[in-house]
Amino acid sequence: MSKQESLKNINRYLKLYNQEQLDLIEKVIEVYASGCINKGAIMDLAFEPEERRKIDSALPHDYVMAVKEILPCFDSFSYVFDYNEPNRHGAMRNVLEALHIKMQTVLNNANFEKMEEPSRV
């Protein structure tokens, strides 16, 4: 498939999304297109600002070392410490999973029944 065909197909899909959905898609593209993907940028995508204020990108060192004893290949990039209720004392969360859930929730209700058929040339 050519780049032009791909762009045309992507545009067909984008027309089905509302403004909230398009805003999320645009933010995701901006982060990945920047070439500088870090945990903070993923956190900003995954969590609402109010929730984000009580989430720490740093994990307690002792906690990480204890997890690495059980899972030697543990990579802390994907994890954050969440102090939002009900986790007043903190709970480890997977930020990539949180982003996936947000995208699935926000993007899942596009009106694909109204999608126009691709033109046959």
Question: What pLDDT, in 10s, does the model give residues 12-25?
Answer: 989 989 999 999 99
| Amino acid at position 79, single letter | Y
Q: 113: pLDDT confidence band, cut at 50, 70 and 90?
A: low
pTM comes to: 0.81
Residue 93: pLDDT above 90?
A: yes
Helices 95-107 and 39-46: crossing angle in degrees, nearest 10, is 40
